[in-house]
């Protein structure tokens, strides 16, 4: 509830100091504040009504400023005359100009007929107003409106009148500040609720992805083992390969769920650029309209790349959507992939791109193109040529490419379509197929401990590890793993440690394992992401992380790295 400032009659003019009528007006002013409640809007109406009575005006009004055009609109009034135009008070109106030209000071006009407002303000002529008293309402240093008293008689406003309207204007400002505070509180509450909702959805998405990845580990792991052992004749292989391809698509989908669950955090892996772009296009080609044909020119010999697969898929979807919207009638979008060597002379065109060998991904459309002004602004945040932006936008595309250490350039002219060129650094590793050949040839000996509570996942992981030549010890819980570590007589070369187990977390098991087996190499594996408990275990000293599902080749490569093999 707002309260008046202390009123000292010694501050009033001598002729007004002891008049009983003045005492009563000040007393009535103090009584106003007992009428105010918890609703700021209702309080504003009460203050305006009491202003009219205390100041004995013909009418009183509180005008709020419209931020869109700077005009004043009557938000609350008392004794407004019939036909009074409550909205749109702007240039030439006394309530507007006196407020915003008075430097936040009150304005008193004894005779409006002697001012230009008698001609410029239609309300004065129409309703016969003769005098005016107004005071700006200032909220947080900004004039948000005015409290106005209009009278149909000429009158000289006294210091008491000005004191009263100043006090009431300050009270209105306090109510406006309360409204702003309540609005901000509602906004923050809504943001908190939205954040909690998104966190709940993200947790659900992460849990679903975890279960999917466990199932995919079983499916894809067994398919790989069947293919490696040659257990199926050619008649059945043609049915197995489509299952494998469908499973790989599901891996991409679960990676998108995990990307959502981890809030857009960056997580990369080395992939075959040709295979990745081909599979990504199959997932995001729905971004194109039905009248747009998708063409591809993907060089299989293109270098591998290290990327966050979900981020690059989102990037492709955004560019394809923009290209599709640029094609108003039948047309095409061509996606090409190849190695490209950027010379020192080409750096003038691609400013910021380092010379040397890159992987070049290009998306060319036959749309309407864009002028030079639009082309130079296309990567600006919030810039759009559409009435309402949607999707990631080219600013986000730019951000994703920069995160990957790459460079993006758009070449376009009106009527000639557009070409988006994305340069990515090639990964300094051998091709995935070469890794598979090496993995198939590498045989090891030793003992491995697998800590995994899912029976089917344990079975396939056991088969993968045995395929590499290791003897396997199984633990379906943390306590079983610790028991094996205490009682097993021989050396244990490495452990595959799941993050989530029924009795304790992997981050709780790891330090206890290391106390029992200080030289143990540990590979953390999980259907979740690297964030959270998995990251905690790595920070504590574990050697590697493998996301489920993983292949024989990937595990072999990880073992090479942790045992320092060439």
59/130 same-domain check: yes
44/168 same-domain check: yes
36/173 same-domain check: yes
pLDDT at 227 over 80: no
Q: Is residue 158 part of a domain?
A: yes
Please, is 378 exposed, middle or buried when counting C-beta atoms within 10 Å of its C-beta (0-12, 13-18, 19+)?
A: buried
**What CATH number is associated with residue 287?**
3.30.565.10
At residue 103, the pLDDT reads 66
Reduce the DSSP state of residue 332 to 3 states and report it.
Answer: strand
pLDDT at 311 over 60: yes
Q: What is the C-alpha to C-alpha distance for residues 112 and 95, in angstroms, rounded to an integer?
A: 12
**What CATH number is associated with residue 458?**
3.40.50.2300
Q: What is the C-alpha to C-alpha distance for residues 471 and 491, in angstroms, rounded to an integer?
A: 11
Q: Is residue 313 part of a domain?
A: yes
- Residue 291 β-bridge partners: none
- Residue 109 β-bridge partners: 132
At residue 15, the pLDDT reads 46
How many CB atoms within 10 Å of residue 508?
Answer: 14
279 upstream amide cis, omega within 30 of 0: no
Pair 336, 298: CB distance under 8 Å: yes
Domain boundary pick from 424, 455, 489: 424
At residue 551, the pLDDT reads 82
415/448 same-domain check: no
Q: Total domain count for the chain? A: 3
Domain boundary pick from 392, 424, 456: 424
Q: Do you know the residue count of the chain?
A: 566
175/29 same-domain check: yes
At residue 271, the pLDDT reads 86
pLDDT at 392 over 80: no
- Domain with 462, as residue range(s), is 436-562
25/79 same-domain check: yes
Q: Which of 52-66, 284-298, 346-360, 545-559 shows the lowest mean pLDDT across its residues?
A: 346-360
In percent, how much of the chain has pLDDT > 90?
Answer: 20
DSSP string, 259-326: HHHTTT----EEE-HHHHHHHHHHHHGGGS-TTEEEEEEE-TTPPPEEE-HHHHHHHHHHHHHHHHHH
Q: Is residue 370 part of a domain?
A: yes
At residue 297, the pLDDT reads 93
Question: Across residues 279-290, what is the average pLDDT?
Answer: 80
At residue 390, the pLDDT reads 42
Q: Is residue 118 part of a domain?
A: yes
149/33 same-domain check: yes
At residue 475, the pLDDT reads 92
Domain boundary pick from 183, 205, 221: 183
For residue 82, give both structure tokens.
């019939």
Report pLDDT digits (tens) over 141-170.
888 888 989 999 999 998 889 899 999 999
Q: Is residue 71 part of a domain?
A: yes
Q: Is residue 383 part of a domain?
A: yes
375/490 same-domain check: no
Q: What is the largest CA-CA distance in the chain?
A: 115
87/156 same-domain check: yes
156/106 same-domain check: yes
Q: What is the pTM of this model?
A: 0.49
Alpha carbon distances (Å) from 530 to 262, 276, 537: 9, 21, 10
Q: Is residue 155 part of a domain?
A: yes
Report pLDDT digits (tens) over 498-519.
988 888 888 899 999 999 999 9
Please give, one letter per residue, the 3-state secondary structure of 105-166: CCEEECCHHHCCHHHHCHHHHHHCCCEEEEEEEEECCEEEEEEEEEECCCCCCCHHHHHHHH
Q: Which of 126-135, 344-353, 396-405, 425-434 shows the lowest mean pLDDT across its residues?
A: 425-434
List the 471-475 sheet strands across, edge first.
471-475, 447-451, 494-498, 521-526, 544-547
Pair 335, 363: CB distance under 8 Å: yes
**What CATH number is associated with residue 17?**
3.30.450.40
- Give, in degrees to the nearest 5, the angle at Cα 218 between 217 and 220: 65
Q: How confident is the model at residue 171 (pLDDT cuts 50, 70, 90)?
A: very high
27/171 same-domain check: yes
88/143 same-domain check: yes
Q: Is residue 199 part of a domain?
A: no
């Amino acid at each position: 509830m707002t309260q008046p400032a202390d009123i000292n009659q010694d501050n009033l003019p001598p002729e007004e100091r002891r008049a009983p009528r003045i005492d009563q007006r000040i007393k009535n002013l103090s009584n106003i504040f007992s009428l105010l409640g918890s609703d700021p809007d209702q309080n504003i109406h009460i203050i305006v009504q009491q202003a009219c009575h205390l100041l004995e005006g013909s009418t009183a009004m509180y005008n709020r400023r419209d931020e869109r055009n700077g005009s004043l609109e009557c938000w609350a009034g008392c004794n407004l005359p019939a036909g009074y135009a409550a909205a749109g008070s702007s240039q030439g109106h006394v309530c507007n100009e006196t407020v915003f030209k008075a430097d936040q000071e009150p304005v008193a006009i004894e005779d409006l007929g002697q001012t230009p407002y008698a001609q410029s303000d239609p309300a004065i002529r129409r309703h016969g107003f003769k005098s005016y008293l107004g005071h700006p309402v200032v909220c947080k240093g900004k004039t948000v409106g005015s409290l106005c008293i209009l009278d149909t008689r000429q009158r000289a406003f006294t210091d008491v009148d000005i004191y009263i309207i100043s006090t009431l204007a300050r009270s209105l400002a306090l109510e406006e500040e309360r409204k702003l505070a309540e609005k901000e509180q509602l906004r923050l509450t809504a943001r908190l609720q939205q954040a909690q909702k998104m966190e709940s959805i993200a947790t659900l998405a992460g849990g679903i992805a975890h279960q999917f990845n466990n199932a995919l580990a079983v499916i894809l792991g067994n398919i790989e083992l069947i293919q490696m052992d040659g257990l199926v004749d050619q008649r059945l292989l043609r049915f197995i390969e489509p299952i494998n391809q469908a499973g790989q698509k599901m891996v991409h989908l679960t990676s998108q769920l995990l990307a959502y669950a981890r809030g857009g955090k960056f997580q990369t892996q080395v992939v075959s650029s040709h295979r990745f772009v081909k599979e990504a296009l199959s997932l995001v080609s729905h971004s194109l309209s039905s009248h747009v044909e998708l063409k591809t020119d993907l060089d299989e010999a293109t270098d591998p790349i290290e990327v966050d697969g979900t981020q690059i898929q989102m990037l492709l979807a955004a560019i394809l959507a923009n290209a599709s919207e640029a094609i108003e009638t039948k047309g095409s979008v061509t996606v090409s992939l190849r190695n490209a060597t950027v010379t020192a002379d080409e750096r003038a065109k691609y400013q910021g791109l380092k010379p040397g060998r890159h992987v070049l991904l290009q998306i060319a459309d036959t749309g309407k193109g864009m002028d030079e002004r639009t082309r130079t602004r296309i990567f600006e945040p919030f810039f759009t040529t559409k009435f309402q932006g949607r999707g990631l936008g080219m600013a986000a595309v730019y951000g994703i490419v920069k995160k990957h250490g790459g460079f993006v350039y758009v070449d376009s002219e009106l009527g000639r379509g557009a070409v988006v060129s994305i340069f990515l650094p090639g990964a300094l590793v051998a091709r995935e197929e070469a890794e598979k050949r090496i993995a198939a040839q590498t045989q090891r000996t030793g003992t491995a401990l697998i800590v995994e509570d899912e029976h089917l996942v344990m079975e396939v992981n056991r088969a993968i590890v045995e395929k590499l030549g290791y003897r396997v010890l199984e633990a379906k819980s943390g306590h079983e793993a610790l028991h094996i570590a205490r009682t097993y007589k021989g050396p244990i070369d490495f452990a595959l440690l799941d993050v989530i187990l029924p009795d304790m977390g992997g981050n709780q098991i790891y330090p206890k394992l290391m106390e029992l087996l200080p030289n143990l190499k540990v590979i953390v594996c999980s259907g979740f992401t690297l964030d959270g408990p998995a990251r905690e275990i790595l920070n504590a000293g574990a050697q590697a992380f493998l996301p489920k599902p993983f292949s024989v080749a990937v595990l072999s490569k990880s073992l090479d790295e942790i045992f320092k093999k060439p």
